[in-house]
């Protein structure tokens, strides 16, 4: 009896073992289509990620090369029209004093704005980006830094007493990159600040309002056809002696007319902006700025349920 039971158990065990390879093959056969489906999903997700990055970082395809030698060498083709995302900015300095405008100066082109800073003042990156150049130029920029940003811009910070970053380093908007100084071709401590697109210097006053410590809008659209007029208008509004300064307010009607040119690029001297902080809502901003949610929505072409993001810039007047 016991012997018979042992034979039965042995037979069943052998039968089970003999089916294992077949079961394993069946499992592999069933798994194969799943693996193919997962690969397809992974591939779709990967391509979607690439498309998303291309959408969010339009400046990545704007330049042809990357080098650490030249500030102004055109290494990309300047487009006839290009939309620059100014959201997520940080003012490079807390100083509100513009001491020299963009444009013709002393018989040559001044390709940035000079902002009054003192030796040792903190200078910050204007946007997220990657440091392209950290160098010293005795007859020009002095100690300077060039950063290429995801929005297509490159920013230049000159005459600093010290650089705090290295070439090819990734930086965040607001991160300290240097200290104010008086190095290079400079007659007093200040920050020389440039904004360049494909190596071509654009007037920073088109995008930055140092007197109000803000950008002028969420976006700036560069157009070759209208750039010169827009640049001149921006200088009148936000340059040395611009209408934004209390000390430069016009004294008579003739000066009022000269200092208040026609609206250009949808920005006027009376327009005011608010940079959204974390946790703010349309209702809290309306209360803070003495306006209404309806007016905020109308000015910014958004609905009452629009989701705000930190760093976003809203018109409120």
**pLDDT tens by residue, 225-237:** 999 999 999 999 9
Residues 42 and 137 in one domain: no
Encode burial over 157-171: b for 16+ CB neighbours within 10 A, e otherwise: bbbbbebbbeeebeb
**Residue 207 and residue 107 share a domain:** yes
CA-CA distance, 69 to 248, in Å (whole number)? 40
Task: Indicate whether 239 pLDDT > 70.
Answer: yes
Q: 191 and 49: one domain?
A: no
Domain extent, residue 305, equals 272-315
Tell whether 197 is covered by a domain: yes
Place of tokens 């920029």: 141
Instruction: Specify whether 154 is located in the same domain as 277.
Output: no
Q: What are phi and psi of 21, to 5 degrees?
A: -60, -40
Tell me, yes or no, whether 225 lies in a domain: yes
Structural domain tally of the chain? 3
> What are the distances in angstroms from CA 260 to CA 32, 89, 229, 250?
72, 27, 14, 9
pTM of the model as a whole: 0.62
Q: Strands 162-163 and 81-85: what pairing?
A: unpaired
Q: Tell me if 67 is assigned to some domain.
A: no
Asked if residue 258 is part of any domain, the answer here is no
Identify whether residues 48 and 95 lie together within a single domain: no
Q: Number of helices (H) and strands (E) in the chain: give both, helices first.
A: 5, 19
Q: Tell whether 262 is covered by a domain.
A: no
Same structural domain for residues 172 and 228? yes
Average pLDDT of every residue of the chain: 79
* Residues 177 and 103 reside in one and the same domain: yes
Specify if 74 maps to a domain.
no
Q: Which residues contact 266 (CB under 8 A, 6 or more apart)?
A: 217
Identify whether 222 is part of a domain: yes
- 133 near 167, Cβ under 8 Å? yes
Identify the band that residue 31 occupies on the pLDDT scale cut at 50, 70 and 90.
low
Note the pLDDT tens digit of each residue in 137-171. 999 999 999 999 999 999 999 999 999 999 999 99
Place of tokens 């608010």: 274
Q: Which two tokens stand for residue 306?
A: 């629009």
Residues 177 and 33 in one domain: no
More confident residue, 106 or 113: 113
Same-domain check for residues 41 and 184: no
110 part of a folded domain: yes
Q: What is the largest distance, in Å, between two alpha-carbon atoms of the chain? A: 124
Q: Is 226 found in the same domain as 99?
A: yes
Pair 126, 195 in one domain: yes
CA distance 194 to 192: 7
As a whole number of angstroms, the distance between CA 211 and CA 98 comes to 8
């Amino acid at each position: 009896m016991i012997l018979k039971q042992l034979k039965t158990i042995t037979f069943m065990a052998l039968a089970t073992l003999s089916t294992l390879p077949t079961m394993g093959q069946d499992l592999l056969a069933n798994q194969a289509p799943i693996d193919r489906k997962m690969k397809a999903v992974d591939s779709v997700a990967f391509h979607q990620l690439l498309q998303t990055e291309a959408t969010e970082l339009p400046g990545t395809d704007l330049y042809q090369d990357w080098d650490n030698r030249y500030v102004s060498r055109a290494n990309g083709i300047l487009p006839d029209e290009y939309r620059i995302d100014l959201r997520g900015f940080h003012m490079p300095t807390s100083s509100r004093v513009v001491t020299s405008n963009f444009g013709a100066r002393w018989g040559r082109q001044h390709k940035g704005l000079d902002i009054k800073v003192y030796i040792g003042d903190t200078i910050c990156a204007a946007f997220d980006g990657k440091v392209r150049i950290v160098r010293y130029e005795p007859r020009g920029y002095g100690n300077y830094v060039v950063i290429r940003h995801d929005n297509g811009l490159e920013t230049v910070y000159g005459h600093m007493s010290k650089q705090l970053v290295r070439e090819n380093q990734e930086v965040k908007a607001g991160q300290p990159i240097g200290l104010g100084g008086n190095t290079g071709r400079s007659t007093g401590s200040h920050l020389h600040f440039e904004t360049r697109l494909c190596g071509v210097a654009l007037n920073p006053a088109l995008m930055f309002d140092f007197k109000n410590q803000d950008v002028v809008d969420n976006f700036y659209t560069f157009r070759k056809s209208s750039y010169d007029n827009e640049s001149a208008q921006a200088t009148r509004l936000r340059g040395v002696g611009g209408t934004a300064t209390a000390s430069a307010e016009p004294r008579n009607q003739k000066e009022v007319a000269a200092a208040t040119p026609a609206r250009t690029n949808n920005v006027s001297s009376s327009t005011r902006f608010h940079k959204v902080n974390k946790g703010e809502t349309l209702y809290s901003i309306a209360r803070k700025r003495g306006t209404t949610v309806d007016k905020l929505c109308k000015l910014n072409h958004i609905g009452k349920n629009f989701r705000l993001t930190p760093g976003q810039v809203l018109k409120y007047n």
